[in-house]
Structure 1
Amino acid sequence: MSNIGMRIFPYINRPPKALIQAFSGIPVANIADNMNRMSCMDARIRPINDVPLLGPAFTVKSRPGDNLMLHKALDLAQPGDIIVVDAQGDLSNSIMGELMALWAKQRDIGGFIIDGAIRDIGALRKMGLPIYAAGVTPAGPYKDGPGELNVPVACGGVVVHPGDILVGDEDGIVVINPRDAESLLEKSKAKSDQEKKVMEDIANKAWDRRWVDQALLERGVVVVKENRISSRTNVQVPVSVIRNATEHFDAVAVNISTDGILLQTQHEFEVDRVIQLILPKELGNVNVVARVIWKHGNHIGCNFVDMPTEVRTAVDQAVYFQLSQNLKQASGDFI
């Protein structure tokens, strides 16, 4: 009679060792990129050391805080197996510590992935055994069950079947169905070769970045050069305004930023009108082109447009000089 929740399936189908070992040295991130980011354990499952993990899954499903079935897994797992424990993410009780890890190492177990808590972490880190867990607590486990061995389990938000290939590094864990392994292996190797080429390009300052602008263009991103947030300072200086070849007016600059200017004038300017401004020495002593973006009474707000680098530099320097002068004056008012 089947006793659901208290069963052991001792026999599993393990992939060929050569196929498993072929993933050695391939970054987990490169493998995951070729799986559409769908088979990575979540960020709760973290390594306690930097020892890489690689091997077939030997699965354990346990009641939270109970390690009876994990103890049995230590005796049944074969050398190289990765023991994967679904402890339902519970962190109230550790389900593995130093003694169990020492026994696992004596039996050449390949490592542990535990969706639950562990303890004796100082000793575990020094063993050279790859161990991943969701947390650490000194509280010990119970040994009552229920639990099952070599059934599908949930670990780090991913379903793991007995015999799945597990690859782990400092970034985390990826789970590979053996049926997908050969094609995935070739793609992952190609990804690693591609990244090596990019690293060479970066070292030579030759990384082709055109894809970024292309991606932004395809997504409809608009570069709004006229609305940058920038420092603005109050001024009261005369400015000459050229509306067209025959119309020149005087105005007063009320405030200015590196992106625009507020003018006070008795003349009418419609919104979107492009005008030319002759800025005095206090504001950089340059000619700039501006567009009227709003008007209210005898004030008009303008954004600078198409500013050459040398003109923008002159305006920037003038703005920050005026800003520093205003700050000094304001500080003096409080002395």
Structure 2
Amino acid sequence: MATNDESMFKALAGVTTATLTTILLKKGLRNVWIRGAFPLAEGSSRVVGRAFTVRFVPAREDLATPESWASPKSSRGAIEQMPAGCIAVVDAMGVKDAGIWGDILCARMAKRGVSALVTDGVVRDLTGVLGTGLPVWASGAAAPPSVAGLTFVDWQQPVACGGVAVFPDDVIVADLDGAVVIPAALVGEIVDAAVEQENFEGWIMREVEAGAQLPGLYPPNEANKAKYEASKRKD
């Protein structure tokens, strides 16, 4: 079993989010896919990292002001706390008419070594954001600033991003199908099961390409289970 982040994350980098949702479903976890978070750049590579959570609430006029950006408790302050390798998970309540932040903030995240930004909201300054090279999963882009529709609250709290409960240090895996949350306490056992499932489905694909029919193969009957186990021994 994988025992540390480096080995676990290396293994998860080879596992699709589609496979992960299946494995998590088998563990009884159905609500793990963050709604509204899709890669903004074409051909985005899979990313894996621990969640650094950021939370917004609805805009309140006395708090959601441009002056609030200078407060220590602000999106700017949150970014300065993000460790290298983390994935920033921003709960924007699905608001799509106020960008949580733009190119300058994303550039700072990239400079700090943050692996990616995942949000159920939107960004602004899209061309600039893409130019920073920071991988972003979001619902799109909007010109207005965050304070037009949101109030920044805090970081490293439990959040509800895209309808999914995300806690600090949960593991996030994001690819072209979106972003999936793996509870921190389950990561080790999920990794092993997911890698095995990925290997098994790779074997099934090779069988299909060789002309095999699906009934009895996917899901496998006893004969195909034995055939798969024999293939592993050959490897």
Query: Does the TM-score normalized on the shorter chain lie above 0.5?
Result: yes
Larger radius of gyration: 1
Once the two structures are superposed, what CA deviation does each residue of 1:206-234 show, in whole Å capped at 9, x if it has no partner? 1342478xxxxxxxxxxxxxxxxxxxxxx
Q: Contact 1:40–1:172 at 8 Å: present in 2 too?
A: no
2:33 match: 41
Q: 1:25 to 1:210 in 2, by over 3 A?
A: closer
Q: Secondary structure at the match of 2:84?
A: coil
Indicate whether 1:171 and 2:177 are aligned. yes
- 1:43 Cα deviation (Å)? 4.0
2:210 match: 204
Residues 1-335 of structure 1 aligned to structure 2 (within 5 Å): 16-36=5-25, 38-49=30-41, 50-64=44-58, 68=69, 69-142=74-147, 145-210=151-216
- Aligned-partner Cα distance in 1 for 2:202–2:212: 13
Give the structure-2-normalised TM-score: 0.76
Q: Contact 2:11–2:195 at 8 Å: present in 1 too?
A: no
- Aligned-partner Cα distance in 2 for 1:51–1:97: 21
Q: Contact 1:20–1:55 at 8 Å: present in 2 too?
A: yes
More helix by proportion, 1 or 2?
A: 2
Q: Which runs of 4+ in 1 moved over 6 A?
A: none
Q: Which consecutive unaligned segments of at least 5 residues does structure 1 have?
A: 1-14, 213-335
Q: Secondary structure at the match of 2:96?
A: coil
- Aligned-partner Cα distance in 1 for 2:185–2:142: 37
Q: Secondary structure at the match of 2:203?
A: helix
Q: Secondary structure at the match of 1:84?
A: strand
Q: Contact 2:34–2:120 at 8 Å: present in 1 too?
A: no
- 1:125 Cα deviation (Å)? 2.8
- 1:123 Cα deviation (Å)? 2.9
More strand by proportion, 1 or 2?
A: 1
- 1:62 Cα deviation (Å)? 1.4
Q: 1:128 to 1:150 in 2, by over 3 A?
A: same
Q: CA RMSD for the aligned pairs? A: 2.5
Once the two structures are superposed, what CA deviation does each residue of 1:252-302 show, in whole Å capped at 9, x if it has no partner? xxxxxxxxxxxxxxxxxxxxxxxxxxxxxxxxxxxxxxxxxxxxxxxxxxx
Identity of aligned residues (%): 25
Name which structure has the greater RCO, CA cutoff 8 Å, separation 6+. Answer: 2
Q: 1:26 to 1:100 in 2, by over 3 A?
A: same
Greater shift in the superposed pair: 185-194 or 198-207: 198-207
Q: 1:21 to 1:211 in 2, by over 3 A?
A: closer
- Aligned-partner Cα distance in 1 for 2:182–2:34: 15
- Aligned-partner Cα distance in 2 for 1:31–1:204: 26
Q: Contact 2:87–2:116 at 8 Å: present in 1 too?
A: yes
